[in-house]
Amino acid sequence: IVGVPLALPLAVVVFITAFIPIVGATAAGILAALVALVALGPVPALIVVGIVVLVNQLEGNLLQPVLMGKTLKLHGLVILIGLTAGTVLAGITGAIISVPLLAAAWGAIQVWDGPDQPARPWRQKREETAEAR
């Protein structure tokens, strides 16, 4: 759209680096902005930076929580709050481990019935084996 040369190789680099968590998309965006800066000047480079920031924000703050929420059966707002809390409390490390910790905690809460009863999946398995006898 902006007219940056080598758009197809840059698209391949962006696709490959997008699989690297946290830093992949940012590194690809920096590379695309540098190519735009060298080839076309500062204004197109700023446009590329704006597009990269917009796409990263949409992906990180909208698509990822919605898709991850459906996969983990957590509401997107819970994921966003967990990511925010993890980032504030422990920086990048907190952002990386906050959602898996939330998912594990939610899974434990869903099956915990109290100290006197086993968790639901174990109770169901015990009932199935008792019926089979």
Q: Classify residue 114 by burial, with Cβ atoms within 10 Å: 0-12, 13-18, 19+.
A: exposed
Please give the pLDDT value at position 74. 82
For position 44, what pLDDT does the model report? Answer: 92
pLDDT of residue 46: 94
What pLDDT does 20 receive?
Answer: 74
Query: Is residue 82 located within the same domain as residue 43?
Result: no
Give the Cα separation of 118 and 86 in Å (integer): 31
pLDDT tens, position by position, for the chain (133 residues)?
888 888 889 888 888 887 776 688 888 889 999 999 999 999 999 999 999 889 888 887 777 777 777 777 888 788 889 888 998 999 888 988 988 899 898 888 877 776 666 666 655 555 666 666 6
Q: Are residues 21 and 68 in the same domain?
A: yes
124 and 86 belong to one structural domain: yes
Nearest to 23 by CA among 64, 68, 60: 60
Regarding whether 93 and 68 lie in a shared domain, the answer is no
* CA 57, 75, 100, 71 torsion-angle sign: negative
Res 56: pLDDT: 83
Q: How many domains does the chain have?
A: 2
My answer on whether 97 and 122 are in the same domain is: yes
Residue located via tokens 């962006």: 14
Identify whether residues 58 and 88 lie together within a single domain: no
Residue range(s) defining the domain that contains residue 3: 1-72
Same domain, 108 and 51: no
Same domain (yes/no): 3, 28: yes
Boundary-marking domain end, from 56, 72, 88: 72
pLDDT at 126: 56
Residues 68, 86 within the same domain = no
